């Protein structure tokens, strides 16, 4: 989701505190220049939190959460997903496996800094990737924070024609729709009206590196649906504690998406928090302080568990 990235640009143009060393390519044809690493401090310095943005979004959309976690002492890496922060053509040439590979690379990099299994924290589609890492690499993931999880676009603001999304793979097979997009529409995932007004101009500024793309390409939605199916099938393989936060009145992805995690994760504790004063972009909307406080408390609980289990330090993926 690009609304959060645009909002962050409107609210705060200061650069990340600790940008990563330059990395030109990930092997999937995607630069990682927009990632940022915030070094931790104090008792939580070895607690790494990997922040994963949503479809068409950017690392910038995780900035407020990153800064709050870092103030609490955590080491934070906001990863840049393959195909993002560029053009629509860049995005539609990537597959969901490329996005998982980006998250995997970020987890490896973060773990090099902390020497501990990490907490994966994703927003919207990023929540699916956070869960995918927990499925694939249980020894590397100490906890999962799933924010506004989007297995499907079924919120109250989503047009009815999107129910025909199951036809998109056929369109792609016929070469149809490469440049077509589902455009974002009001309220853009934001309940706070004043904040929403500030974001609209930024969303359409044309700077995809800062604000993301203004809509979801059809072909990328195909990949999101495939990622969603993979994660839902394998939720039983998640063994890390999960914190799931979702707006009760999410306009993009209904709260039933969060309930899917509660029902599907059977081998780990799951805490569900439903928020009453936000829409989809809970990291920047009216409940953002609650989201940060709950995430920090979750990180502290994971850190306490890790300190009680020193044998997990430096665990291999």
What is the per-residue pLDDT across 188-229, written as a single tens digit (0 to 9) for each? 999 999 998 887 767 666 555 555 666 888 889 999 999 999
Q: Going by C-beta distance under 8 Å and a sequence separation of 6 or more, which residues neighbour residue 291?
A: 65, 147, 245, 275, 282, 283
Q: Which domains does the chain have, with CATH numbers?
A: 3-309 (3.40.50.1820)
DSSP 135-162: HH-TTTEEEEEEES--SS--STTS-GGG
Q: Is the pLDDT of residue 19 over 80?
A: no
pLDDT band at 2 (very low <50, low <70, confident <90, very high): low
Cα–Cα dist 55/216, whole Å: 7
Please say whether the beta carbons of 8 and 37 come within 8 A: no
Q: What is residue 211's predicted lDDT score, i.e. its pLDDT?
A: 53
The pair of structure tokens assigned to 36 is 């940022």
Residue 179: which of 226, 213, 228 has the closest Cα?
213
Q: Which helix (H) or strand (E) holds 114?
A: helix 96-114
Which residues partner with 38 through β-bridges? 76
Q: Pick 256 or 21 by higher pLDDT.
A: 256
Q: What is residue 1's predicted lDDT score, i.e. its pLDDT?
A: 54
Tens of pLDDT, residue by residue over 80-93, are 999 998 888 889 99
Q: What pTM was computed for the model?
A: 0.88
Cα–Cα dist 36/30, whole Å: 15
Tens of pLDDT, residue by residue over 65-116, are 999 999 999 999 999 999 998 888 889 999 999 999 999 999 999 999 999 9
Residue 148: which of 17, 240, 283, 242 has the closest Cα?
283
């Amino acid at each position: 989701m690009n609304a959060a990235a645009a909002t962050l640009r409107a609210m705060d143009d200061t650069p990340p505190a600790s940008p990563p060393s330059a990395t030109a390519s990930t092997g999937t044809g995607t630069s990682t220049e927009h990632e940022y690493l915030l070094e931790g401090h104090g008792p939580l310095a070895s607690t790494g939190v990997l922040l994963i943005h949503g479809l068409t979004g950017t690392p910038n959309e995780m900035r407020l959460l990153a800064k709050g976690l870092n103030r609490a002492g955590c080491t934070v890496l906001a990863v840049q997903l393959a195909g993002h922060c560029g053009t629509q053509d860049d995005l539609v040439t990537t597959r969901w496996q490329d996005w998982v590979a980006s998250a995997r690379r970020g987890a490896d990099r973060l773990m090099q800094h902390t020497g501990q299994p990490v907490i994966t924290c994703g927003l919207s589609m990023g929540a699916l990737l956070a869960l995918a890492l927990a499925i694939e690499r249980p020894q590397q993931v100490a906890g999962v924070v799933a924010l506004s999880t989007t297995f499907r676009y079924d919120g109250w603001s989503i047009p009815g024609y999107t129910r025909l999304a199951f036809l998109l793979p056929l369109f792609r097979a016929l070469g149809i729709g490469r440049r077509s997009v589902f455009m974002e529409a009001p309220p853009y995932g934001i309940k706070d009206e004043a904040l929403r007004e500030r974001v609209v101009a930024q969303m359409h500024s044309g700077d995809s590196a800062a604000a993301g793309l203004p809509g979801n390409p059809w072909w990328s939605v195909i990949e999101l649906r495939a990622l969603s199916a993979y994660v839902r099938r394998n939720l039983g393989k998640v063994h890390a504690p999960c914190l799931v936060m979702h707006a009760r009145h999410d306009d993009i992805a209904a709260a039933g998406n969060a309930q899917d995690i509660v029902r599907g994760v059977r081998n780990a504790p799951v805490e569900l928090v439903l928020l009453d004063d936000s829409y989809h972009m809970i990291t920047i909307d009216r409940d953002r302080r609650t989201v940060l406080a709950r995430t920090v408390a979750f990180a502290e609980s994971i850190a306490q568990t890790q300190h009680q289990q020193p044998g997990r330090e430096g665990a291999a993926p």
